[in-house]
């Protein structure tokens, strides 16, 4: 299987602080890679470097073999990378359906066609499908701001998939979600991963969520990769245990 994402020796320093210190890894097509590590280990900074939110101080990011280091988030999204946010970022005044249309519209046609074409950029059906998939049917017309936290998380995830991305980076998708909703979320993510052969990288603190969802797990500590392997291997790795318990 080819690598969708290749990260080579990424470094990011803020002034004197080296938040990410030479991280390299590959993500294969269709896999779900978990990214875990104690607070402050550099996971979010790494994410932001990959996503173009931050410019890495050094290193390379390749998407399907193409060099994409330092491209802006909007450009990366057009190339097929999308993300969810740790802190919810849905558009509260728009309805659920409109949020989804918004999430997909930039992938339809070009700017000119989007000006003179249909108001929904032809995405109503796709949006409805997504709504059905994430079981938000009864909420389709509701303003997103009125949804419960867990429902908004589902919407956030759905939005990330509207553009038909190759690679989705999920930032703590389980955070703050109650157990019932959590199993729904996990089940939906597994389903969409299978159906679309989509590749995920998931930052999470919820160990159970990560271990049961991911095919491989990467552990970071102090800006470096500490371990990489299958969940059960990583769990037993003494260095990993120490990183989590020793601090």
Partner 1 sequence: MSGFAKPLKIALGLIVIAGLIAIPMNFNRYGLFILSQWAVMTIAAMGLNLTLGYAGQVSLAQGAFVGIGAYASAIMTTHGWPLPAAIVVAIVLAFAVGWVLGYPALRVQHHYLAFVTLAFSTLAFLVFRNESWLTGGIYGISNIPRPHFLGIATTKPLPFYYVCLGSLAIVSLAVWWLIRSPWGRAFMALRENPLRAQSLGIDTRRYTLMAFAIGSALGGVAGALYAPLTQYIDPVPFNLSLSLDLLMMVIVGGAGFYFGPFLGAMIAVLLPEWLRFTEGYYLMLYAIAVMGLLVWSPTGILGILDRYVAERRTKAASALRAVAKSRLETAQ
Taking contact as CB under 8 A, which single stretch among the options 6-14, 89-97, 223-231, 234-242 is the one that binds partner 1? 89-97
Size of site (CB under 8 A) for partner 1: 33
Taking contact as CB under 8 A, which single stretch among the options 116-124, 130-138, 187-195, 235-243 is the one that binds partner 1? 116-124
Asked if 107 touches partner 1 (CB under 8 A), the answer is yes
Asked if 124 touches partner 1 (CB under 8 A), the answer is no
Nearer of residues 22 and 122 to partner 1, judged by Cβ: 122
Cβ at position 121, least distance to partner 1 in Å = 5
- Applying the rule CB under 8 A, the residues between 141 and 160 that interact with partner 1 are 146, 159
What is the SS3 assignment for 92-103? CCCEHHHHHHHH
Q: Would you state the structure tokens that stand for residue 56, as one six-digit string?
A: 């890495």
Contact between residue 144 and residue 101 where contact means Cβ atoms under 8 Å apart: no
Taking contact as CB under 8 A, which single stretch among the options 8-16, 33-41, 102-110, 129-137 is the one that binds partner 1? 102-110
Q: How far apart, in whole angstroms, are the C-alpha atoms of residue 69 and residue 10?
A: 10
Asked if 244 touches partner 1 (CB under 8 A), the answer is no
Cβ at position 235, least distance to partner 1 in Å = 32
Contact between residue 32 and residue 188 where contact means Cβ atoms under 8 Å apart: no
Which of 114, 194, 230, 236 is in the footprint of partner 1 by CB under 8 A? 114
Max intra-chain CA distance, the chain: 60
Element (H, E) at 18: strand 17-28
Which of 4, 61, 96, 102 is in the footprint of partner 1 by CB under 8 A? 102
Asked if 82 touches partner 1 (CB under 8 A), the answer is yes
Q: Region of 9 please: left (phi>0), alpha (psi -120 to 50) or beta.
A: left
- CB atoms closer than 10 angstroms to residue 138: 9
Dihedral sign of CA atoms 163, 166, 171, 175 in order: positive
Contact between residue 243 and residue 38 where contact means Cβ atoms under 8 Å apart: yes
Asked if 66 touches partner 1 (CB under 8 A), the answer is no
Q: Would you state the structure tokens that stand for residue 231, as one six-digit string?
A: 């969940």
For residue 112, CA distances in Å to 64, 76, 118 come to 28, 21, 12
Which of 21, 98, 184, 222 is in the footprint of partner 1 by CB under 8 A? 98
- Matching residue, tokens 């700017």: 111
Which of 57, 95, 105, 237 is in the footprint of partner 1 by CB under 8 A? 105
The residue ranges that bind partner 1 (CB under 8 A) are 51, 72-74, 77-78, 82-83, 85, 89-91, 93-94, 98, 101-103, 105-108, 111, 114-117, 119-121, 146, 159, 163
């Amino acid at each position: 299987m080819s690598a969708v994402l290749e990260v080579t020796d990424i470094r990011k320093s803020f002034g004197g602080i080296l938040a990410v210190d030479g991280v390299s890894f590959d993500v294969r097509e269709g896999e779900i890679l978990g990214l875990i590590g104690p607070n402050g280990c550099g996971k979010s900074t790494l994410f932001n470097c990959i996503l173009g939110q931050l410019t890495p101080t050094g290193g390379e990011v390749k998407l399907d073999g193409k060099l994409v280091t330092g491209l802006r988030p909007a450009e990366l999204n057009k190339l097929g990378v999308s993300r969810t946010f740790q802190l919810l970022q849905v558009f509260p005044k728009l309805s659920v359906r409109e949020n989804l249309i918004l999430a997909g519209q930039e992938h339809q046609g070009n700017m000119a066609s989007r000006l003179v074409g249909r108001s929904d950029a032809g995405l109503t059906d796709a949006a409805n499908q997504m709504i059905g998939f994430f079981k938000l049917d009864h909420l389709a017309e509701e303003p997103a701001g009125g949804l419960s936290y867990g429902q908004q998380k589902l919407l956030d995830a759905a939005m990330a998939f509207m553009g038909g991305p190759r690679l989705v980076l999920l930032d703590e998708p389980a955070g703050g979600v109650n157990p019932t909703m959590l199993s729904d979320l996990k089940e939906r993510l597994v389903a969409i991963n299978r159906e679309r052969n989509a590749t995920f990288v998931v930052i999470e603190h919820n160990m159970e969520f990560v271990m049961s969802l991911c095919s491989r797990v990467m552990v970071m500590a102090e800006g470096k990769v500490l371990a990489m392997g299958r969940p059960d291997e990583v769990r037993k790795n003494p260095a990993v245990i120490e990183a989590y318990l020793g601090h």
